[in-house]
A and B are shown apart, each in its own frame.
Chain A
Amino acid sequence: MSQATTGHLARIFGDNQDALLEGWLSGMLSRMVRRDKNAEAELRQQAARFIPLLIKALDKGQTYDIDQPSWAELRHLLGDISAARVRQGFSPTETATFVFALKEPLFALLRSALADKPEALAAELVETGTLFDRLGLFTVEEYQKGREAVILRQQQEMLELSTPVVQLWKDVLALPLIGTLDSARTQVVMESLLQKIIDTGASIAIIDITGVPTVDTLVAQHLLKTVAAARLMGADCIISGIRPQIAQTIVHLGVNLEDVITKASLADAFLVALKRVGASVSYQHAA
């Protein structure tokens, strides 16, 4: 299939810009699920930017291959539109419709312009169809990239959110772990714990694993690493929040937690920690 343009398309666009824009917009608006003034205005603006860039790309490059540099501006615009639609919560179909809706009014114009030359019309339809398919696919790809960027950002935010180190008392830190521990998270947990030990001069840290759904050998190993690193900095660790099932799993797996103080609940661990730093809790009134 030839990649060179026949020139028909550029001419039709140049001659009928306004009619095409209106036809395109009405096609898009009729298919839109949510209609409001803002969205309409935005759509009109995007469409008005799209057509001149398309004409420019056709004029300059004389090719339908959208990977060429002459199509760069148009690709950029489509990328922006896709990114904006990802943020606004559009579906992939809605996003791709932006490009595909232009086909209808365009094909109608082509048909009337080349009515007397059926062979040329057929060839032109195939070429134009292919071009718009590519543009549509490109839009969907950009949409996908935008989605992946959002997911990646959320993953990082989750990583940071899920590893808080809190000070419970003078010299006592707590590290409530939520979710599964993998190597990357262990690294983050370890770094923030050790930094907090330096900042507060804490001598004891409670690692609470109530929120850790399962403990396998790997997770246990990560926990022991964290404990060992804290010990090298002069802080002892207590592991708390061990559920009955997890205690059973740990024994069945043959994981050795004998060098670490373990407690069933955070409250028990806190009492041990207070005793270690020389503090005590008492009730003012007899219960």
Chain B
Amino acid sequence: MERIPILKMGNLLLVTIQVDMHDRLAMTLQDDLTARIVKDHARGVLIDISALDIVDSFIGRMISNTAAMARILDARTVLVGMQPAVAITLVELGLTLHGVQTALNVEKGVQLLQRSLD
């Protein structure tokens, strides 16, 4: 079955989304991610969407939900690598992803998480 890989970096988890999302994949990702946060005692999650040219309301909501789930398990989520065109589209759609922290790239996302965890 198709899965999105979750990489462990110290006390952080890195999720890179590179394929089109659909219901099943999103559910699997949320299952896997919550399980990994508990198992690895992760304190932060980075979701990298730099490979996505299109982010629709479905993916937007999925990201918000995932961040909320991670928050309950005491892990902060940072969304990184959004393309300018994607940002403009999301704003026009009225999806500002409230409650999700953002960073320009993975490096800055790691810095942000590390600073808030210290």
Contact = CB atoms under 8 A, between A and B. Distances in A.
25 contacts: A190-B91, A191-B84, A194-B88, A195-B84, A197-B104, A198-B84, A198-B104, A201-B105, A203-B108, A225-B91, A228-B96, A229-B84, A231-B96, A231-B102, A232-B79, A232-B82, A232-B86, A232-B87, A232-B90, A232-B102, A233-B82, A233-B87, A233-B102, A234-B102, A234-B108
Interface residues of B, number: 18
A9 interface: no
A235 interface: yes
B103 interface: yes
Contacts of B96: 228, 231-232
Q: Sorted from nearest, which 4 A-B pairs have the closest CB atoms? A: A194-B84, A234-B103, A234-B104, A232-B87
Contacts of B92: 225
A229 B108 contact: no
A40 B103 CA distance: 66
Nearest to A197: B104
A230 B105 CA distance: 13
Contacts of B91: 190, 225, 228-229, 232
A229 B104 contact: no
Contacts of A201: 104-105, 108
Contacts of A231: 96, 102
Given A228-B96, A229-B91, A235 B84 contact: no
A235 B104 contact: yes
A190 B84 CA distance: 9
B59 interface: no
A174 B80 CA distance: 22
Interface in A218-243: 225, 228-235
